[in-house]
Amino acid sequence: YFASDDTLTMGFQIVDIRHKPTADDVTMANWFLQTGVPFAIIANKLDKIKKSQLEGSLQTIRTTLHLPENVPVIPFSAEKGNGKDEVLALILEHIHEVVVLRRHKQLLAVASHKHSADTYVAPDVDADVAGRLVGIFRRPVGKQLMHGC
C-alpha cells in the first residue's frame, strides 16, 4: 500500500500530545519526510493536558519527529472537537490540490498529443481552460480543440 506512487497522496499521523513521540512515531514521520508524501501530525488528547502545557508539548513533538515548519502539528481533542475544523480544512485543501494537479497533468498529456497539424484531441476538456493551461507551460496550442475524438 505504501509503496504505490498514486495510492497515498497525504498522510495523517496521530500522536499522543501527553507524551514524547515513540520510536515508531519517529519511524513513521521519517518515512513521510523521506518519501516526500505530504503529511500532518494530529496531536490527540488535547483535552487531557493543561493549557500551560500546550506549547511545550507541541515543541516536543516537532523536535522529536524532526519536523520542518511546513508540516502542520494540529492539537486535537476527539472528545471536545478541538482541531476538527483544522483537520477538515487541510483535507479539503489537499483534495482540491490533488484534483487540480491531476487535471493539469491530463490536460498537458492531451495538449502534447497532436491529433493533426492544427488540432489537439481533448476529450471532455474546456477549450479555454486547455488553452490557458498549455500557454502557462509554454506549449503551442492548435487552432481548435476537438472533444471526444
40-63 pLDDT tens trace? 999 999 999 999 999 999 999 999
* pLDDT tens, position by position, 1-12: 566 666 778 899
The residue that leads in pLDDT, 133 or 7, is 7
Are residues 13 and 39 in contact, defined by beta-carbon separation less than 8 angstroms? Answer: yes
Take residue 36 and report the three cell numbers written for it: 516526500
Model confidence, pTM: 0.67
Tell me what pLDDT residue 5 has. 63
How many Cα neighbours within 13 Å face the side chain of 99? Answer: 6
Mean pLDDT score of the chain, rounded to an integer?
79
* pLDDT tens, position by position, 70-107: 999 999 999 999 999 999 999 988 888 888 877 877 77
Are residues 42 and 67 in contact, defined by beta-carbon separation less than 8 angstroms? Answer: no
